[in-house]
A and B are shown apart, each in its own frame.
Chain A
Amino acid sequence: MGATDSEAVEEAAVRWFIRREGGAWTDAQEAEFNVWLDGATAHRVAYLRVETAWQQSARMKALGAGVPSGVIPPPGEWGNTRFLKKTTAELQPAPVTSPEDSTQQVKFADVVTGHESARPATSRVSSRGLGLRFNAVAAGLLVALAAGAALYIYTSGYFAGDRYATAVGGLDNVRLADGSHVTLNTDTSIRVRMTAKERHIDLVRGEAFFEVAKDPAHPFVVYAADQRIVAVGTKFAVRRDSEDVQIVVTEGEVRLAGADASEPIPVPTMLHAGAVAKTSRKEVIVNQDAAPDTQRLLSWRVGYVNFQDTTLSDAVAEFNRYNTRKIVIADPALAELRIGGNFRSNNTHAFLSLLQDRFPVTVEEGEDQVVLRGR
């Protein structure tokens, strides 16, 4: 049977796409393409389908994780990619509610904790335009998923931005299309949109470390609570706990500004390497000389939590970020005990052993939680 009309049009669209995105493309060729594109609405629609499918297939890059360049795994080998070898808990997708729900809520159920949170999808990207011509910035929406447990979350809005998240206890690294790298800590969710104006990152929850590729034409801006953190070519971490934001800069410079456009223009705060800033509802405390602290605050990147004269209640809260079985302090008197040390974030056992050995604490380990009582 010969190809139907729509199949012929689809094939033509695919061939145009391949040639146009193949690497060498002249203005004369672009003119020819536009003649075809404008020739029929069916051509335009077909081309949009091809572009869309191509962008959605970006996640395939994860298949290459851990595979040396030039090597192509034989069929059936996908199960051996590093992506699948990670054992962190997987976020379970839940049904997307219909578009009739005007807030377009996407619900996530964390299978391990049974905790459900509704995350509203924000407005669609419009400033980038569909620019049928792919360029490096436009391709920013095709975010490459590097190996590991940071899951690419597929929302119903094709251009609502790309989301990455880790489960409790997760830790992962993602390479963005602009060359930047983002390390996501436990229980973290970010959304990435490359627009014509800026590289827009929403830190929805959790903590992330950013290694920003230089692109002066497009500032890299992290939005967290009511803060806007602007970088050009730097390394820094942002941690969000509801409305409190902590910024640690290890290289280069970032500018901290409020995100609320209706406020009178505040003086932005410049943070240099070695600075730690904490903000809480517009109040900002900056320590520009916190270099010894920065390593401690970033030890999570190598899977450790570090305490130095930290209260037990703070230490417990920190551990609880990384573990689904939470530690609870039953006796308020214990809360002010001070502890120090370096612990693997997912090894509560070592931490609890230490407590029992050195402090007047009994540890009751249950299925769902661990209770600390005074002796």
Chain B
Amino acid sequence: MAPADRHSADQWFVSEVLPHEASLTRYLHRVWPDHSEVSDLRQEIYVRLYEHATRSPRDLPTSVQAKSLMFVIARHLMTDRRRRERIVSIDYTQDLEDSNVLVDEISPEHRLSARQDLRRFSDALDQLPAHCRTAIWLRRVEGLTTREITERMQVSEGALEGYLTRGIRALMKVVFGGTIEGDPREDVRGSDHGRHG
């Protein structure tokens, strides 16, 4: 792919697909019994979606198409996996059909106020071990370079990388939300058929 096309594909992915991650993750949690597999499922969905969409980089799917495609790919992927795992259960098939209805209904993504968003970041920070919290603070709030932070914290670059890795992954959870049972942002809609992970 030409670099310019590659750039527009990446930009497309960020602006048309990633905003729906929370919605996709909630859906996967609702429909796939093994929650520990959700992350892998999502990765696979993204890979298939990205590759499908970028077959014609001048003609990338619209916002509407991207979201539908994402859920179509999700359903196909899960159906494939279930067949491979030979799970025979009428309930599961039924669930998949029901959840089609839920997915096609566009759930409004409630935007939090700036204050609430800030609180989520702050809470995530507070839950990190002290070194991670310090490292993220110095990097994200104060904007120091790696070198400056290692000097300030008197740690090696390797150690710092570890702290920052953990911190950034926590921030990613805040940004992408997604479902964590009990998460007040969870869009509780439709029945879960009593299946909690």
Contact = CB atoms under 8 A, between A and B. Distances in A.
Interface of A: 1, 4-7, 9-11, 14-15, 17-19, 22-24, 40-42, 44-46, 48-54, 56-64, 69-70, 72, 75-76, 78, 83-84, 90-100, 104, 124, 126, 129-132, 145, 151-160
B128 to A, nearest CB: 9
B124 to A, nearest CB: 9
B165 A93 contact: no
A24 B113 contact: no
Given A44-B50, A132-B10, A159-B11, A49 B147 contact: no
Interface string B112-133: 1111011101100110000001
Closest 4 CB pairs of A and B: A23-B145, A22-B146, A95-B108, A98-B106
B149 to A, nearest CB: 9
B85 interface: no
B156 to A, nearest CB: 13
A265 B146 CA distance: 49
A144 B37 CA distance: 36
A82 to B, nearest CB: 12
Nearest to B122: A78
Contacts of B93: none
7 contacts: A9-B43, A23-B145, A24-B146, A49-B21, A63-B141, A78-B126, A158-B19
Contacts of B89: none
Contact of B141 (A15, A61, A155): A61
* Residue among B40, B67, B111, B141 with most chain A CB within 10 A: B141
Contacts of A49: 18, 21, 172, 176
A83 B118 CA distance: 10
Count chain A CB atoms within 10 A of each CB in B114, B142, B146, B161 and give the residue with the most. Answer: B114
Contact of A6 (B42, B50, B106, B169): B42
B169 A93 contact: no
Nearest to B45: A45
B47 interface: yes
Contacts of A58: 140
A99 B141 contact: no
A129 B11 CA distance: 7
A207 B65 CA distance: 39
Given A15-B161, A42-B47, A96-B109, A126 B122 contact: no
Contacts of B140: 57-58, 60-61
Nearest to A106: B111
A60 B47 contact: no
Nearest to B10: A130
A162 to B, nearest CB: 12
A91 B113 contact: yes
B51 A59 contact: no
In this complex, the member of B43, B125, B174, B176 whose beta carbon has the largest number of chain A beta carbons within 10 angstroms is B43
Contacts of B64: 99-100
Given A72-B137, A78-B119, A130-B7, A7 B114 contact: no
Given A53-B175, A93-B113, 9 more contacts: A19-B146, A44-B10, A45-B13, A52-B18, A60-B118, A75-B125, A95-B110, A129-B11, A155-B111
B79 interface: no
A72 B109 CA distance: 33
A297 B4 CA distance: 47
Interface in B28-49: 36-37, 39-40, 42-43, 46-47
A96 B134 CA distance: 34
Contact of A23 (B47, B147, B175): B147
Contacts of B36: 1, 4
A48 B117 CA distance: 21
A132 B14 CA distance: 12
A138 to B, nearest CB: 12
B148 to A, nearest CB: 8
Nearest to A47: B10
B164 interface: yes
Given A14-B169, A23-B146, A53 B176 contact: yes
B141 to A, nearest CB: 4
B118 A62 contact: yes
A51 B172 CA distance: 10
A45 B46 contact: yes
Given A53-B175, A95-B109, A156-B109, A14 B47 contact: no
A56 B39 contact: no
Contacts of A156: 19, 109, 111
Nearest to B106: A98
Point out which of A19, A53, A54, A159 has the most chain B C-beta atoms below 10 A from its C-beta. A53
A179 to B, nearest CB: 13
Contacts of A53: 168, 171-172, 174-176
Given A6-B42, A18-B168, A53-B168, A158 B113 contact: no
